[in-house]
């Protein structure tokens, strides 16, 4: 067991046992419900820890028992939600390892599939500096093709490089403190010491306050990371979908230049050492000025190189913002590669996503248990301190926000399935109209060529392929070739639509708390919590409740 977990467990039971042993003396001073709710928070926190290990595979569970270097602290961090999955770009090859696992789960090999794109764009992508396992050029594709593995890899790095927003990070640290201090603040408002009058009371109240802050800060953290995970997945899927919608995705929207944290650290360490060397020679004897000068020159050269690099990066970013990647689903192999790319993107980080789904369930359990406790206070006419209901209400409200936001993000992610299927259906619809146009043109074979007016009329169609600068057939031979290809593409798009629909709406939809992520789950969650709050309000209003010196008193 982690020493930190052991320490937390020992301290926790010291506080709980001390309260139980002195229960008769403290019952009218310390609210038993405060201790119970703190214990409930401890249970939820430990449930999250248990879930972390529950989703380890057999090899990882065996590795936990292995001494370094087979299992190190770095291995532990890579597998944790709060460290590895929150900062996947800071752990070398974590994104690549998870992408390899996603391909294995999906039974695909993305480096063997390629997208056909504009040749100028393909040239940039094929020269882009990226991971060696996911190069755009696989030595078999053409100059106007890039591997599906490269496209997916860049989309995932772009999406999963996002961290929690600043306001979310502040919420994680401020909200638990605000919630934890509510019972103590209420004691002050009732002219009572916030942490009791005796040492015994102080031990219990300080311990409960610490437990509330530590345990619920972790609940808020994991809830926020659950929201972040679904948001990242939605961003990656949106990039994949946007590429097949004209005019496509800007290169700077999905190409990721960010290196790993270790690479940045190496540069910073090198620069710091050069500055330290400069200071060292400056403090030495004047006879060593030549060495000092060499050190200064080295620092200057490094700074100039960094400056030139920044200028070059600005120019490159401007260039990338003007070019776009557009994947035309009507071109050979694009629809096939796109379906495989979506499948791999969905399965990326599957083990972490299973944990996240369970974490949302734990948070909902806490909110539900707390609202049940609130009903027990009022309907059971139990003795409690006035700060306890306030504490429950505020805590449940904040935790419920995390739960509902996570469900909302999961629902939006599942909603992209319908949006992407609509892209395919639009393509099928446009192709069918083109085929009907070709049938009409069969009637004009005596002209040997298509009239200019007819070509212009077709070019103005609202869902026309010509908005993508597709060539207009000028002869009947070209028309026949186009018709044959369009029929083949139409068949493939129809099969792709059916496959995505079955796999992501029936077989493997996005889940949250064990249910399919739909608006019904969101509405049901809101309904359950609101119902319990309404019941608690009715119990409070009908119980003849009043507070004397901060303690509940019920009318007989």
Q: Can you tell me the distance from the alpha carbon of 359 to that of 267, in angstroms, rounded to the nearest whole number?
A: 38
- For residues 463-476, give the mean pLDDT: 53
Average pLDDT, the chain: 80
Q: Where are the domains of the chain?
A: 3-248+326-426+509-554, 261-321
- For residue 369, the model assigns a pLDDT of 94
Range list of H helices, 129-198: 148-160, 166-180, 182-189
* Of 136-150, 388-402, 427-441, minimum mean pLDDT range: 427-441
Flag whether pLDDT at 314 surpasses 50. no
- For residue 412, the model assigns a pLDDT of 95
Q: Which residue has the higher pLDDT, 362 or 278?
A: 362
- For residue 468, the model assigns a pLDDT of 55
- For residue 260, the model assigns a pLDDT of 43
- For residue 270, the model assigns a pLDDT of 47
- For residue 544, the model assigns a pLDDT of 79
- Quick: pLDDT tens for 46-94: 898 888 888 887 877 777 777 777 777 777 788 888 888 888 888 888 9
- Those residues with Cβ within 8 angstroms of residue 80's Cβ, 6 or more apart along the chain or in another chain: 52
* DSSP single-letter state for residue 81: I
* DSSP single-letter state for residue 111: G
Q: Which residue has the higher pLDDT, 323 or 264?
A: 323
Portion of the chain with pLDDT greater than 70, in percent:
76
Flag whether pLDDT at 167 surpasses 70. yes
- Those residues with Cβ within 8 angstroms of residue 523's Cβ, 6 or more apart along the chain or in another chain: none
Q: Would you say 12 and 204 are in contact if contact means Cβ atoms under 8 Å apart?
A: no
Query: Is the pTM for the entire model greater than 0.75?
Result: yes
Beta pairing, strands 114-116 & 145-147: antiparallel
Q: Per-residue confidence at 282, pLDDT binned at 50, 70, 90?
A: low
Q: Which residue has the higher pLDDT, 347 or 129?
A: 347
Q: Per-residue confidence at 267, pLDDT binned at 50, 70, 90?
A: very low
DSSP string over 503-532 = IIIIIS--EETTEE-SHHHHHHHHHHHHHH
Q: Which residue has the higher pLDDT, 29 or 486?
A: 486
Number of continuous H segments (helices) and E segments (strands) in the chain: 20, 8
- For residues 386-410, give the mean pLDDT: 93
Q: Per-residue confidence at 168, pLDDT binned at 50, 70, 90?
A: confident
Pull the structure tokens for residue 246.
């004209």
Pull the structure tokens for residue 142.
């053409």
**Highest mean pLDDT pick, 137-146, 254-263, 437-446:** 137-146
φ, ψ (nearest 5 deg) of residue 107: 60, 45
Q: Would you say 424 and 493 are in contact if contact means Cβ atoms under 8 Å apart?
A: yes
- For residue 313, the model assigns a pLDDT of 53
- For residue 405, the model assigns a pLDDT of 94
- For residues 118-137, give the mean pLDDT: 90
- For residue 114, the model assigns a pLDDT of 94
């Amino acid at each position: 067991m982690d020493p930190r977990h052991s320490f937390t467990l020992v301290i926790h039971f010291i506080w709980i046992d001390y309260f139980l042993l002195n229960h008769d003396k403290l019952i009218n001073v310390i609210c038993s419900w405060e201790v119970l709710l703190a214990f409930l928070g401890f249970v939820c926190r430990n449930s999250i820890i248990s879930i972390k290990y529950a989703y380890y595979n057999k090899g990882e569970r065996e590795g936990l028992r292995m001494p370094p270097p087979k299992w190190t602290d770095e291995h532990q961090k890579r597998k944790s939600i709060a460290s590895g999955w929150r900062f996947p770009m800071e752990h070398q090859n974590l994104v690549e390892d998870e992408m390899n696992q996603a391909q294995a789960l999906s039974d695909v090999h993305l480096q063997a599939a390629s997208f056909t794109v504009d040749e100028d764009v393909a040239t940039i992508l094929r020269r882009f500096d990226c991971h060696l396992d996911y190069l755009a050029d696989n030595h078999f594709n053409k100059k106007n093709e890039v591997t599906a593995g490269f496209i997916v890899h860049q989309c995932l790095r772009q999406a999963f490089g996002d961290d929690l927003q600043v306001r979310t990070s502040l919420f994680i640290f401020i909200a638990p403190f605000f919630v934890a201090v509510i019972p103590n603040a209420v004691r002050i408002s009732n002219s009572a010491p916030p942490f009791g009058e005796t040492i015994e009371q102080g031990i219990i109240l300080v311990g409960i306050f610490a437990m509330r802050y530590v345990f619920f800060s972790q609940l808020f953290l994991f809830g926020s990371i659950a929201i972040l995970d679904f948001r990242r997945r939605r961003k990656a899927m949106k990039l994949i979908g946007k590429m097949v919608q004209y005019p496509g995705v800007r290169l700077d929207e999905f190409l990721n230049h960010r290196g790993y944290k270790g690479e940045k650290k190496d540069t910073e360490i090198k620069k710091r050492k050069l500055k330290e060397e400069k200071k060292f020679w400056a403090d030495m004897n004047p006879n060593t000025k030549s060495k000092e000068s060499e050190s200064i020159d080295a620092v200057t050269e490094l700074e100039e190189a960094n400056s030139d690099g920044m200028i070059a990066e600005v120019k490159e970013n401007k260039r990338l913002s003007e070019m776009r990647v557009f994947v035309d689903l009507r071109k050979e192999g694009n629809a096939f590669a796109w379906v495989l790319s979506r499948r791999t993107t969905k399965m990326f980080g599957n083990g972490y996503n299973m944990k996240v789904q369970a974490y949302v369930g734990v948070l909902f359990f806490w909110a539900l248990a707390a609202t049940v406790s609130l009903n027990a206070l009022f309907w059971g006419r139990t003795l409690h301190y006035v700060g306890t209901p306030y504490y429950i209400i505020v805590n449940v409200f904040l935790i419920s926000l995390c739960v509902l936001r996570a469900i909302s993000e999961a629902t939006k992610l599942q909603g992209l399935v319908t949006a992407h299927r609509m892209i395919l259906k639009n393509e099928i619809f446009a192709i069918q109209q083109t085929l009907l146009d070709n049938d009409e043109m069969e009637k004009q074979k005596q002209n040997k060529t298509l009239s200019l007016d007819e070509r212009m009329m077709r070019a103005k169609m609202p869902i026309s392929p010509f908005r993508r600068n597709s060539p207009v057939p000028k002869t009947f031979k070209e028309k026949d070739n186009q018709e044959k290809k369009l029929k083949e593409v139409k068949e493939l798009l129809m099969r792709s639509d059916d496959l995505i629909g079955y796999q992501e709406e029936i077989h493997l939809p996005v889940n949250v708390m064990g249910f399919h992520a739909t608006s019904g789950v969101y509405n049901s969650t809101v309904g359950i919590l609101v119902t319990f709050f309404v019941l608690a309000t009715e119990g409070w209003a009908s119980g003849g409740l009043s507070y004397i010196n901060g303690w509940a008193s019920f009318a007989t």
